[in-house]
Chains A and B, each alone.
Chain A
Amino acid sequence: MSDKDTHLPPVNAMPPLPISQGWMGWNRTGEWRYFDPVHENHLPPCNHACPAGEDIQSFASLLVQRKFREAYDVIRESNPLPSVCGRVCNHPCAANCNRSELDDAVSIRCLERLIGDWGLKNVKTQAAVIDPDKGEIAIIGSGPAGLSAAWHLTNLQYKVTVFEASPKAGGMLRGGIPEFRLPRKTLDAEIHSLVDRGIEFRHNVRIGQDIPIDDLQRFRAILIAIGAHKPRVFDIPGSDLPGVQQGLDFLAEVNCGKRDFIEGNVAILGGNNTAIQCARAALRLGGKPTIYFRRSANEVPAFADQIEEARQEGIEITSLTAPTTIRKTGNELKLTLQRLTLGKRDSSGKRIALSIRGAHTEVTVSRVIVALGEDPDLTFLPRRIDRESWGINTGGTHQTNVGNIFAAGDCADNRRSVGSAIGAGKAAAQSIDRYLHGKTVFVESANRIVTRFADLNVAYFQRSQVVERKKIPDDRRLTSFAEVNIGLAEADALREAARCLSCGVCNSCDNCLTFCPDHAVTKQNGGYKINYDYCKGCGICIHECPRDAIHLRIKQVPR
């Protein structure tokens, strides 16, 4: 160490008083440290839970900065249908939101819906650049999985043709979801944006009937995304009587505009989303629906918000009842129901429903709507494609045993939600791309660490109440097919986005910089730089980071 290092005057120029005037920069206190703090983002739990793989933290943060366009682009990197998903997705992201342990989960669905609607209004989707050398891909089915795969393959510069059996694209979104949940205008607009992107739709073509599947061999790859539309077998005495109808058929009629007045009681059999939607549609057509479900009340498989909305509308769900016979008397149907009780647990841990001897009830109804679940109809597929009783098992790769045939969505997946279908479509697109490039289709998921509530430093977060979406007034709600949920106003949505804690992702709050006792953290390029020459490794920055974006690494000893 020379005088030059210490910035000190020579000895004969020292002041008469003990005034400190050198500097301490020569003292590299980084030598004291035995581990390194590192700025490193972890995975927010919402992003982790999103089956479509959306970067939710990112679009919430962009929304706070009023960067609508960027937020829209971030969602569409994963999901071409934000307006649809903002309305009908069950939002497992919000169920995993860390904020729910502080006060209320962020209303992510409202943010998604607002951004999606903003995009439909303000963004004209540009046609993708198609590389003719990459070849063409056929997609069978235009439900959420097919649309998502088409979108991502187009973004990868493939020419995509989507075959749809019905006159309009949308699959279950159009046939299975009523307008009070998803207005046709929104669905049409989002599908139209996919047409703008350059995806070709061929309507009214049922593969296996209008064209044999082998005629698609000119395509380099085929994706089966036909969904699950075949109702499960319902066979009890009287199940073939007129007035007994399958739920999906009923919904398809309603959604096509065939809305005949329903008089009297309507019995809905089943507890899935189709059942709930049938009941809510029947209510709007004048009927008095009751849902009969054979398992216990807390095992109803429909989404929680659907059940809640049905209850609000006065629809009763009678659990632990099973239909035994249907008889016709005059213009009405007599439905006999067996009361059940819960018995011992079976091998899967579920309690078995047992009949109570002699406990029958009979209800008089004008209609019986059956919604016991759906399976994919795979009869059109060539024999050489392996299948299970519930659908096509691809083991998560989305590739069937026939190399260039892929499968995604409800026909290859038991999760059965719009979000998971969109995620599967995206994954299938990636699989197809890898396959066509001669790579293995199996991709090991990146093992990123998820930030949980316990990882946050909540001292920096104020409690605040969620701004939730509102419903339309009851008089309109129960008598028309108008959309029930009203989205948030822009100001409310921005406030809601600001409630996002940005778990695991640095948002430049400056805590690390402010609290560093050694002045070793500086701002650089919008982020932070730690000066390891002086960082003593006290760990304050790690501990005081509100959002778990700084982590500890064992110190690398220079060689």
Chain B
Amino acid sequence: MMLPQNSDRAQESGHLGCPGCGEALGLRLVLEIIGSNAIMVVPACCASYVDGIWPSSAARIPILHVAMGTTAAVAAGIRAALEVKGLNDTHVLAWAGGSGAFDSGLQAISSAAERNEDILYICYNNESYIDMDIHYFTSGSNRRGGGAHADHRRQRTQKNIIEIMAAHHIPYCATACVAYPDDLADKVKKALSIPGFKFMHLLSPCPTHWEIPSELSIELTRAAVETRIFPLYEVEDGTKYAISVLPGTFVPVSRFLSRQGRFANLSAEAIRQIQNRVESQWRQLQRRIELSRGGVSGQVKAKPEKQTAP
């Protein structure tokens, strides 16, 4: 390795992310916790060029670039190799974009999760599918459209990747976002302390695709949590649900949607539908939390929903 010797930083400046890039920020926050004894696997996604085009890299740890669908498989292979070499304290981080995790990489994730490979898989989701011309992920609709898959996915909801992972009964999965760095750090620490397959879904803002001024990156990510579009919670062993950040006030989804150019074409009706959907998902999440607190399905007391008026 030929890294700058004088650096004690997890990630150097000079990466190629756009101004206000949430992925670069998220990676630094994660790497600051993981430290230098780690190997990172990155498929084709923003990170593969934001961090520096091969063979350059802003991150302080070695990065292995792999094909889009193979991230989890390669990470599992690295873990096996490390075990053979006796390097059990080296962390393996799979760092994949939304497309590589939700879509083409899902099979490899599922298999690695099923085998409970000892890796930390973090899907940083900028809701963009940037590599394929920004068209796939949105919470409801996309003004730009374009691209092969655009039309029939326009009005669909994002997959609930945490539910998919929880259904694998892996030891730990969680959502996190860059607007709550303390929560993110806590979750990474917790994940690293648990052996087995850990999955995190990290909301990382993309000013370019979200069509927002770069300085609003963090504010809108915080709005995603405050509107409950992206609740911050964790699931242990696929059953124990817990909210990790409960915002002081809940705000209407329009606070998140209306400031983004990509949602400029949403009608009032569409926003109302999204609000309803968000509330229904929130109720489901609350119910799962109640169940994991010891309640048995069907016998849960109907508690009034814990909600703070906006």
Chain A residues near B (Cβ < 8 Å):
6-9, 14, 17-29, 32-33, 457, 459, 462-463, 514-520, 531, 533-534, 536-540, 542-544
The reply to whether A27 and B14 contact each other, CB–CB distance below 8 Å, is yes
Nearest CB on A from B284, distance (A): 27
Known contacts A7-B2, A519-B28; is-contact A29 B20 (Cβ 8 Å) = no
Interface contacts (Cβ under 8 Å), in number, total 139
Q: Is the interface of A mostly helix, strand, loop or mixed?
A: loop
Nearest CB on B from A529, distance (A): 13
The reply to whether A25 and B13 contact each other, CB–CB distance below 8 Å, is yes
Chain A residues with Cβ below 8 Å from B54 are 18, 20
The reply to whether A19 and B3 contact each other, CB–CB distance below 8 Å, is no
The reply to whether A543 and B216 contact each other, CB–CB distance below 8 Å, is yes
8 cross-chain pairs, A with B, having the tightest CB-CB distances, nearest first? A539-B215, A20-B57, A24-B14, A534-B13, A538-B19, A538-B20, A517-B25, A538-B214
- Measured CB to CB, the nearest residue on chain A to B247 is A459
Interface presence of B162 (CB below 8 A): no
- Give the distance in Å from the alpha carbon of A537 to the alpha carbon of B207 in the complex: 13
Interface presence of B234 (CB below 8 A): no
The reply to whether A23 and B58 contact each other, CB–CB distance below 8 Å, is yes
Chain B residues with Cβ below 8 Å from A17 are 64
The reply to whether A18 and B14 contact each other, CB–CB distance below 8 Å, is no
The A-contacting residues of B in range 1-52, CB under 8 angstroms, are 1-4, 9, 11-22, 24-25, 28-29, 51-52
The reply to whether A23 and B248 contact each other, CB–CB distance below 8 Å, is no
Interface presence of B196 (CB below 8 A): no
Nearest CB on B from A517, distance (A): 4
The A-contacting residues of B in range 121-174, CB under 8 angstroms, are none
- Give the distance in Å from the alpha carbon of A459 to the alpha carbon of B248 in the complex: 10
- Excluding A18-B65, A457-B219, A514-B181, 8 further A-B contacts by CB distance (< 8 Å) are A20-B65, A21-B1, A21-B62, A22-B56, A23-B52, A515-B25, A517-B21, A539-B19
Interface centre among B29, B63, B214 (most CB of A within 10 A): B214
- Measured CB to CB, the nearest residue on chain B to A460 is B222
- Give the distance in Å from the alpha carbon of A533 to the alpha carbon of B14 in the complex: 9
Nearest CB on B from A33, distance (A): 8
Interface presence of B55 (CB below 8 A): yes
Interface presence of B213 (CB below 8 A): yes
Known contacts A20-B57, A518-B24; is-contact A7 B13 (Cβ 8 Å) = no
- Give the distance in Å from the alpha carbon of A540 to the alpha carbon of B214 in the complex: 7
Chain B residues with Cβ below 8 Å from A543 are 215-216, 218-219
Chain A residues with Cβ below 8 Å from B62 are 19-21
- Give the distance in Å from the alpha carbon of A321 to the alpha carbon of B12 in the complex: 76
- Give the distance in Å from the alpha carbon of A26 to the alpha carbon of B17 in the complex: 15
The reply to whether A8 and B2 contact each other, CB–CB distance below 8 Å, is yes
Chain A residues with Cβ below 8 Å from B55 are 8, 14, 18-22
Q: 17 A-B residue contacts at CB 8 Å?
A: A8-B55, A18-B66, A20-B54, A20-B56, A21-B62, A22-B2, A22-B56, A24-B12, A25-B12, A28-B14, A33-B19, A517-B25, A533-B13, A534-B13, A536-B19, A540-B214, A540-B217
- Give the distance in Å from the alpha carbon of A462 to the alpha carbon of B246 in the complex: 13
- Give the distance in Å from the alpha carbon of A536 to the alpha carbon of B55 in the complex: 23
Nearest CB on B from A544, distance (A): 5
- Give the distance in Å from the alpha carbon of A8 to the alpha carbon of B53 in the complex: 12
Chain B residues with Cβ below 8 Å from A9 are 2
